[in-house]
Structure 1
Amino acid sequence: MTGVPASAAGGSSAAKGAATGAGAAASGTSSVSGGVAGGVSGAAGSSGSSGVSGPSDGSGGPGDFGASGAAGGSGAPAGASDAKALRGGKIAAAAVNQASVWNIANLLTMLRLVLVPGFVALMLADGGYDPAWRSFAWAAFAIAMITDLFDGHLARTYNLVTDFGKIADPIADKAIMGAALICLSALGDLPWWVTVVILGRELGITLLRFLVIRYGVIPASRGGKLKTLVQGVAVGMYVLALTGWLATLRFWVMAAAVVLTVVTGLDYVRQAIVLRRQGIAERKAALEETEG
Structure 2
Amino acid sequence: MPVPILPPATWNSHMHCFDPKRYPFKATRAYTPQPAVLKDLIHNSKADNVMLVQATIEDGYTGLLEHLQQCRDLYPDKHVRGTIFWDPGNPGLKSLTESEFEKLHNAGVRSVRIHGSYGGSGDDISWVIQQFLDVASRCPLRKYNWSISAQLPLATWSAIADTISSHPDLKDIPIIADHNGSATPSDINTPKFTSLLHLLSSSNMYIKLGALHRRSNQISQMEHIIKAIANVAPDSILWGSDWPHCNAAVRGLTPTPPLEVDTDQELRHSRDWLTEEQWERMLVSNPERIFGTWGSR
Q: Specify if TM > 0.5.
A: no
Q: Which has the larger radius of gyration?
A: 1
If the length of structure 1 is used for normalisation, what is the TM-score? 0.23
| Larger RCO (CA under 8 A, 6+ residues apart) | 2
